[in-house]
Structure 1
Amino acid sequence: MAPEARDSREAPGAACQRGLTLIELVVTIVVIGIAASAVMLMLAQGFRGSVDPQLRIKAVELGQSYMDEIFSKPWDEKSPRGGGCVRPSGATNCGSGPNAVCPGTGDCGPDAGEGRGTFDDVDDYQNLEEGSACGYGADLRDASGNTRRGRYDGFCVAVTVATGVGGELQDVAADDAKRIDIAVTGPRDLTTTFTAYRLNF
């Protein structure tokens, strides 16, 4: 009996298997490395940027805190309790009120003997600078003069109070307005400025 003939060809549908060459493997690793580096760079930038909104929220909180404190004070030391007109020196408006301690065109600031916890009118905050992060001599303080701790580390505040600025507003006498500017600087040197007007009433 004759032996059966065997076909030496591969069976139909059998896949041809072959491995990667060394060059193909190296090229694949390099491409994956470049793609991974780009993804990691984008993620790092995203994480860095995600801190900014938190710092801005703290800056707004801090600026609002200082603005609330300043607005809680009388327009002038001579302002009647509960509000009322005060006459800047030389002004003819509000003729029945007492003379202001800081005239509309005066160089305002704390009066003699006043400290951070004893400010008693709006213009006492002129040139107030707090926050060791900016090299100011004093730490951030609250209305009682106590140091603010923890939450606002790395922040600093600078306040200016401009008098005689009623002309910047409609139907307000020049000497009857003070403009309060509060600049809050955060740990990344990002400065946010808040501005409000306090009227003499």
Structure 2
Amino acid sequence: MAANSLNSSNSIKGFTLIELVVGMVVLSIALVMLSSMLFPQADRAADTLHRVRSAELAHSILNEIWGKRYDQNTNANGGVPACGAAARADLGLPAGLDCTDAANLGPDTGEVRNTFNDVDDYHGLSETSNMLNSSDTYLSQYINYQLSVAVTYPNADRNSKLVTIDVTTPRGEVITYNAIRSNY
């Protein structure tokens, strides 16, 4: 009886060399799959976040622009006569003043960020410009993002202005947002 208990206590259970090798191979395959499939997903998630922040920045500027009058020479409430409008003698309406010349698009003399009052005042806005009613710049709130706003006339009759907002993400992707503002 003593011999039996001695044999059972001396048998040590463990892994064989083949089991260890197979385990390491399975673990290696799992690590390769993780590094090739899962880890790049983190980079794509960051790109998505940058695109969302880019859209947030452009949308905030567009909302602000949409609240402004079309041109310096247009009635602040819109309406009659819009700049560049022809006289309508049949309705008793005078001709509108000329719209701002393409070479003069941008802030008017003496205008600062908080006093922009028409669409083309935003021409030249960048990440170093102050945010509305703030001493903060866009760069301080959108770190490593670049911003460029351009306002142009897309056609010769000056009845619309093309607002182009280029936002460059920290990864260097340039995302362009365009909107047309009509003269009414």
Q: TM-score range by the shorter chain?
A: 0.7 to 0.9
Tell whether the 8 Å contact from 1:116 to 1:145 is kept in structure 2 after alignment: no
Which of 30, 33, 39 pairs up with 1:35? 30
For 2:5, the equivalent position in structure 1 comes to none
Amino acid at match of 1:182: I
For 2:182, the equivalent position in structure 1 comes to 199
* Residue 180 of structure 1 pairs with residue 170 of structure 2: no
Take 1:57 and 1:123, find their aligned partners in 2: how far apart are those partners?
Answer: 26
Equivalent position SS for 2:161: strand
For 1:115, the equivalent position in structure 2 comes to 112
* Residue 49 of structure 1 pairs with residue 38 of structure 2: no
* Residue 99 of structure 1 pairs with residue 98 of structure 2: yes
Q: Structure 2 vs 1, CA of residues 115 and 145 (structure 1 numbering), >3 Å: closer, same or farther?
A: farther
Taking only the aligned residue pairs, the percentage that are identical comes to 31
Which of 95, 118, 126 pairs up with 2:123? 126
Q: CA deviation at 1:196?
A: 0.7
Tell whether the 8 Å contact from 1:108 to 1:126 is kept in structure 2 after alignment: yes
Amino acid at match of 1:66: I
Take 2:17 and 2:182, find their aligned partners in 1: how far apart are those partners?
Answer: 82
For 1:147, the equivalent position in structure 2 comes to 136
Normalising by the residue count of structure 2, what TM-score does the alignment of the two structures yield?
Answer: 0.74
Q: CA deviation at 1:124?
A: 1.4
Q: CA deviation at 1:28?
A: 4.7
1:50-100 CA-partner distances (Å, limit 9, x unpaired): 22222222111111100111111111112112103102xxxxx43411233
Q: Structure 2 vs 1, CA of residues 178 and 145 (structure 1 numbering), >3 Å: closer, same or farther?
A: farther
**Unpaired stretches in structure 1, ≥5 consecutive residues:** 1-18, 88-92, 131-137, 168-173
Q: CA RMSD in A?
A: 2.7
Equivalent position SS for 1:193: strand
* Residue 58 of structure 1 pairs with residue 56 of structure 2: no
**Unpaired stretches in structure 2, ≥5 consecutive residues:** 1-14, 88-94
Q: Structure 2 vs 1, CA of residues 79 and 192 (structure 1 numbering), >3 Å: closer, same or farther?
A: same
Normalising by the residue count of structure 1, what TM-score does the alignment of the two structures yield?
Answer: 0.68
More helix by share: 2
Flag the structure with larger Rg: 1
